[in-house]
Amino acid sequence: MSAIRSTNVRLMALVWLALSGVLCMLGLSAGSQGFEWMLNTSDPVVMDIRLPRTLGAWLAGALLGLSGALAQALFRNPLADPYLLGSASGATLGVSLALVLGTWGGAHLPWDVQWSGPWVWRLGLTGAAFVGAWLAVLLTLMLANGVQHTLRLLLAGVVVGVVLGAFTSLLTVTQPHLLPAMQSFLLGNTAMVNGSACVLMAVVLLLCALAAWRLSAFLDALGLGEDTAKSLGLQVVPLRMLLLAAMALATATAVAQTGLIAFVGLVAPQLIRSPLRVRFVTRAWLSAMAGGVLLCTADILSRVVLAPQELPVGVLTAILGGGYLMWRLRVMHGSQGDKP
Residue 6 has a pLDDT of 67
| CA–CA gap between residue 218 and residue 236 (Å, rounded) | 8
| pLDDT for residue 210 is more than 90 | yes
Q: pLDDT-derived band of residue 119, with 50, 70 and 90 as boundaries?
A: very low
CB count in 10 Å sphere of residue 327: 10
| CA–CA gap between residue 79 and residue 319 (Å, rounded) | 17
Fill in the DSSP letter of residue 31: E
Residue 120 has a pLDDT of 38
Residue 184 has a pLDDT of 78
Closest CA to 71 of 160, 150, 156: 150
Section 252-274 average pLDDT: 88
Whole-number average pLDDT of the chain: 82
308 preceded by cis ω (within 30°)? yes
* Helix, coil or strand: residue 107: coil
Output the pTM of the full model: 0.87
Closest CA to 197 of 256, 142, 250: 256
| pLDDT for residue 229 is more than 80 | no
| CA–CA gap between residue 53 and residue 31 (Å, rounded) | 11
Fill in the DSSP letter of residue 84: G
Q: Which residues pair with 34 in a beta bridge?
A: 31
| CA–CA gap between residue 185 and residue 258 (Å, rounded) | 7
Residue 231 has a pLDDT of 67
Asked if 6 and 13 touch (Cβ cutoff 8 Å), the reply is: no
Q: pLDDT-derived band of residue 75, with 50, 70 and 90 as boundaries?
A: confident
| CA–CA gap between residue 81 and residue 289 (Å, rounded) | 16
Residue boundaries of the structural domains of the chain: 2-336
The strand ranges marked E within 70-118 are none
| Sign (positive or negative) of CA dihedral 308, 257, 140, 207 | positive
| Sign (positive or negative) of CA dihedral 278, 236, 242, 260 | positive
User: Which CATH number describes the domain made up of 2-336?
Assistant: 1.10.3470.10
Section 45-64 average pLDDT: 92
Section 21-30 average pLDDT: 90
pLDDT tens per residue across span 181-193: 788 788 888 888 8
Closest CA to 314 of 94, 157, 155, 92: 92
